[in-house]
Amino acid sequence: MNRNKREKEYYSIDVGDSTFMVLKRYQNLRPIGSGAQGIVCSAYDHILERNVAIKKLSRPFQNQTHAKRAYRELVLMKCVNHKNIIGLLNVFTPQKTLEEFQDVYLVMELMDANLCQVIQMELDHERLSYLLYQMLCGIKHLHAAGIIHRDLKPSNIVVKSDCTLKILDFGLARTAATGLLMTPYVVTRYYRAPEVILGMGYQANVDVWSVGCIMAEMVRGSVLFPGTDHIDQWNKVIEQLGTPSQEFLMKLNQSVRTYVENRPRYAGYSFEKLFPDVLFPADSEHNKLKASQARDLLSKMLVIDASKRISVDEALQHAYINVWYDPSEVEAPPPAITDKQLDEREHTVEEWKELIYKEVLDWEERTKNGIIRGQPASIGAVVRDGAHQHPLSTSYSSCNDITSSMSSALTLTGRPPEA
């Protein structure tokens, strides 16, 4: 495309401390959130005629951590297509050449709020179990594609007022170092499993721990294990759940084991004490039954030793969750991940810049040729769009509208779809 034509397609707008340079099809930008990678805005897409979310990745190749995460996210978002994982609608860069390349914009389906906002609400069993079911469906789909998340948290899970839920990111790369003996830097680790905190080997049910922490927070209204760093995080876990058995300690590497063995010993509390009846709606026989099922599920997810913790499949079959079971959601065919070395890649800043730039061009090429995931672009966009619309969904003009509407819809009027 010639330079002039390309320049005319974009306009620039200040959002908070940042400037967004976006395609003219996207209008009415408003900030709705920010994360480690940058600012996210809502916008109206005049071509798809719907509201979207636009995330700006500023110089994503600037260092190893940013680059790996941005590249991984871009590649995975292009491959994965499941109703409980956020869908990518467009990718673009306003810069015209590799030399000028700076920023990437990801256009996604717009949701109403993140789970941090929902945690403050009083949820009934129907909504709580439906939200958990969808988290588990999304996680199962990622696992089926060989992606183990390891870093699920409420800020990376978004919901709509009709109670539909999507996971926003793909977590830690297999090669990402974590662990007790690592230098702490500012990142939320409240939801990280013991095997991640202690730098042990892990399996798919590492993500079940995070779901357990999120569920506990939704029930309690406050963070279950609010550690200030990895060490404090571990203390919070053992104070409540008790010091793990010798059998577990034997699985730790020597230096971590020495540290863990030298902590004071805790007996922990029963799940009846940790999650007493008053935390659950218990006004009817039905609610009493559901409360005891919910507590049972918590007690099976929040198990320090992963070999004794419930699996994602078992959680999906649990009485509290399986009322929502739909094979088309649970057993959707896994996506094929095109880049097999995704997690192993190590590159210089210049190489990352080129790799990310190529991914953006590849998207532009595929959309231009009408191919999105093997479908003509128009069909791809319409099907994906339609599949996520719900009769209760509304259009919003501001972030406050979203949250206030969200609370009224979720707590008062909205109902999750019938099981």
* Closest distance of CB 92 from ligand AMP, Å: 16
Instruction: Choose between 87 and 94: whose C-beta lies nearer to ligand AMP.
Output: 87
CA distance from start to end of the chain:
50
Instruction: Choose between 169 and 195: whose C-beta lies nearer to ligand AMP.
Output: 169
Contacts of 391 (CB under 8 A, 6+ apart): 162
Instruction: Choose between 81 and 205: whose C-beta lies nearer to ligand AMP.
Output: 81
* Closest distance of CB 325 from ligand AMP, Å: 26
* Closest distance of CB 341 from ligand AMP, Å: 24
* Closest distance of CB 137 from ligand AMP, Å: 18
Question: Whole-angstrom Cα distance, residue 331 to residue 353?
Answer: 36
Which residues form the interface with ligand AMP (CB under 6 A)?
32-35, 37, 40, 53, 55, 86, 108-111, 114, 155-156, 158, 168-169
Q: How big, in percent rounded to 5, are the helix, strand and coil portions of the chain?
A: 45, 15, 40
Q: In three state form, how does the secondary structure of 343-397 look?
A: CCCCCCHHHHHHHHHHHHHHHHHHHHCCEECCEEHHHHHHHHHHHHCCCCCCCCC
Q: Is residue 242 left, alpha or beta, with left meaning phi > 0 and alpha meaning psi from -120 to 50?
A: left
* Closest distance of CB 357 from ligand AMP, Å: 21
Query: Comparing C-alpha atoms, which of 27, 38, 50 is closest to residue 110?
Result: 50
Question: Whole-angstrom Cα distance, residue 203 to residue 304?
Answer: 13
Give the tokens for residue 205.
């049910």
CB-based closest residue to ligand AMP? 33
Q: Which helix (H) or strand (E) holds 105?
A: strand 103-109
Give the tokens for residue 384.
């994906």
As annotated, the active-site residues are 151
Question: Whole-angstrom Cα distance, residue 263 to residue 236?
Answer: 12
**DSSP structural state of residue 342:** T
Query: Comparing C-alpha atoms, which of 154, 66, 78 is closest to residue 111?
Result: 154
Q: Is residue 370 left, alpha or beta, with left meaning phi > 0 and alpha meaning psi from -120 to 50?
A: left
Question: For the purposes of burial, counting CB atoms within 10 Å of the CB of 236, is it exposed (0-12), middle (13-18) or buried (19 or more)?
Answer: middle
* Closest distance of CB 282 from ligand AMP, Å: 32
* Closest distance of CB 115 from ligand AMP, Å: 8
